Chain A
Amino acid sequence: QLQLQESGSGLVKPSQTLSLTCAVSGGSISSGGYSWSWIRQPPGKGLEWIGYIYHGGSTYNPSLKSRVTISVDRSKNQFSLKLSSVTAADTAVYYCARGYSGYDHYFDFWGQGTLVTVSS
């Protein structure tokens, strides 16, 4: 059974860079046909897709593209998120998820999520 686990700083100061890592176990991040996404959920609000990385590169939500970088470390079977110039609006639970990336797309495995608070 695939498992994903987010880790990183739970408190980030405004204007700084948020950094999170998603460790994948029970399967290889190099498996073909899958994408590896970050998704966030502000307190009391809905889900927002941040972006994903796949064998061909990475794709980001246009509304966040200028501040987001998603990278992969295949040797450690993990992928990471960096979000720069954060503000209070970036306070959210951040999830990592595996996506099946064919013509259609769906998220079949999710991490438990980690709360990141932006505050001085």
Chain B
Amino acid sequence: SSELTQDPAVSVALGQTVRITCQGDSLRNYYASWYQQKPGQAPVLVIYGKNNWPSGIPDRFSGSSSGNTASLTITGAQAEDEADYYCNSRDSSGNHLVFGGGTKLTVL
């Protein structure tokens, strides 16, 4: 079983704000990174570290962390944001990496 837990599915109305969460003990010590994956495509990094964007990622994506929970927030969700989202971090030992189970985001 994954050491990082995500809600399987979340929905948001077009233009509204949505938060996708990731829980795990290792997140008390390590930041999560977040990946967007659309059908048939490779994952794309959208947030890393405390709250950093790779080049080309819109600033409507933001990250935060509190205790054992990391969050990805999309402010003003667009139709093109509909995708699967995965969190990733080191595990509790710090020696290995682990993904959350993924959250399917639907934009209504």
Taking CB atoms, residues of chain A closer than 8 Å to B2 are 46
Question: Is residue B76 within 8 Å, beta carbon to beta carbon, of the partner chain?
Answer: no
> Which chain B residues border A49 with CB–CB below 8 Å?
88, 96-99
Tally of A interface residues using CB under 8 Å: 24
Minimum CB–CB distance from A26 to chain B (whole Å) comes to 15
Q: Smallest distance from the beta carbon of A10 to chain B beta carbons, Å?
A: 16
Q: Is A30 an interface residue (CB 8 A)?
A: no
Nearest CB of B to A113, in Å: 5
Does A95 count as interface, using CB distance less than 8 angstroms?
Answer: yes
Interface residue count on the B side (C-beta < 8 Å): 25
Question: How distant is B100 from chain A, measured CB to nearest CB, in Å?
Answer: 8
Number of CB contacts from chain A to chain B under 8 A: 65
Q: Which 7 A-B pairs have the closest CB atoms?
A: A106-B33, A106-B48, A110-B42, A47-B99, A46-B102, A49-B97, A104-B31
30 pairs across A/B with beta carbons < 8 Å?
A46-B99, A46-B102, A47-B35, A47-B37, A47-B86, A48-B99, A49-B96, A49-B98, A49-B99, A59-B96, A62-B96, A95-B42, A103-B30, A104-B31, A104-B33, A104-B89, A104-B90, A105-B33, A105-B89, A105-B90, A105-B97, A106-B48, A106-B49, A107-B35, A107-B43, A107-B88, A110-B43, A110-B44, A111-B42, A112-B42
